[in-house]
Amino acid sequence: MHADIHLQLHALTAAEAHRAAGRPHLEGESPALRVQIGRRLVELGLRLAAPADRPVTLAA
């Protein structure tokens, strides 16, 4: 299955689940905090997995 089709199906399924739960899904909802936390966790994981003599930095 193509990625774009998969993402569209996921969005439709998620919107349907939100409606069924009684919470309307907001299309413009910004996951800014989730994204920031996710990036920090990835950066932490990379730092823990990297050898001590080679520091890891992520471009923001």
Q: What is the mean pLDDT of the chain?
A: 76
Q: What pLDDT, on the 0 to 100 scale, is given for residue 6?
A: 82
Q: What are the phi and psi torsion angles at 14 (to 5°)?
A: -65, -45
Q: Is the pLDDT of residue 45 over 80?
A: yes
Rounded Cα distance between 16 and 1, Å, is: 21
Per the confidence metrics, is the pTM higher than 0.75? no
Confidence band (pLDDT; 50, 70, 90) for 34?
A: confident
Q: What pLDDT, on the 0 to 100 scale, is given for residue 53?
A: 74
Confidence band (pLDDT; 50, 70, 90) for 41?
A: very high
